[in-house]
């Protein structure tokens, strides 16, 4: 079911206003026991960068994505370089879901991992890392700091156009949240990787 993907009708989603970056596509593919093809819900994502300022430490650039799937949830994604030497991770990805009132899945129970792919219809390749549940609806993924894994992950983050986030809701139903980088996402990743010296 989750491998069944169609192209989007109509134009790309618009950003919230003229001052925000142009939105790209976000698509939720849900399991449906009554339909082998499952359900497909269209949404949008806006990518941008921000800077964390800490006293006594250099400014740190982070990548942010604000995802909106109407009638399901909003999700905030944060990608940052890991500066904590105690953690065996090169980068950290934080995912925070905010279900809308009446969400049929109730909450997000698990994030199995993140895959990257070149096209929406393409087969994804998993980012090497470990996913951990922080609380209901909040998760952290630590990307592997092994030399080979780190290089592959960075290449995928830079070059791949889509992300697949594998989730399980409160009813134990699986879904895939596909998120497009688009022009704003490409720009955000280019800016961050350059700031990190990891082009």
Whether residue 33 has pLDDT greater than 80: no
Question: At 70, is the secondary structure helix, strand, or coil?
Answer: coil
| Res 34: pLDDT | 80
CA distance 49 to 66: 11
Query: Whole-prediction pTM value?
Result: 0.87
- The three-state secondary structure class of 193 is helix
pLDDT tens-digit series, residues 56-87: 778 889 999 999 999 999 999 999 999 888 88
Say how many Å lie between the first and final Cα of the chain, rounded: 36
Rounded CA separation 104/117 (Å): 28
What lies within 8 Å, CB to CB, of 40 at 6+ separation is 6, 27, 28, 29, 30
Average per-residue pLDDT for the chain? 88
Rounded-to-integer distance, Cα 98 and Cα 61, Å: 24
Instruction: Please answer whether residues 90 and 150 qualify as being in contact, where contact means their C-beta atoms are separated by less than 8 angstroms.
Output: yes
């Amino acid at each position: 079911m989750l491998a069944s993907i169609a192209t989007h009708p109509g134009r790309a989603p618009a950003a919230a206003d003229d001052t925000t970056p142009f939105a790209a596509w976000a698509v939720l593919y849900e399991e449906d026991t009554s339909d082998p093809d499952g359900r497909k819900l269209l949404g949008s994502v806006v990518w941008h960068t921000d800077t964390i300022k800490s006293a006594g430490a250099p400014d740190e650039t982070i990548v942010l994505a604000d995802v909106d799937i109407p009638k399901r949830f909003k999700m905030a994604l944060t990608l940052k370089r890991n500066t904590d030497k105690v953690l065996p991770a090169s980068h950290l990805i934080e995912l925070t879901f905010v279900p809308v009132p009446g969400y049929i899945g109730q909450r997000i129970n698990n994030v199995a991992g993140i895959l990257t792919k070149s096209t929406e219809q393409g087969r994804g390749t998993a980012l090497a890392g470990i996913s951990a549940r922080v609380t209901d609806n909040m998760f952290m993924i630590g990307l592997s700091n092994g030399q080979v894994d780190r290089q592959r992950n960075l290449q995928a983050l830079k070059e791949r156009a889509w992300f697949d986030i594998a989730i399980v809701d409160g009813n134990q139903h699986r879904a895939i949240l596909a998120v497009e980088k688009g022009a704003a996402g490409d720009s955000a990743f280019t800016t961050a990787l350059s700031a990190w010296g990891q082009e």
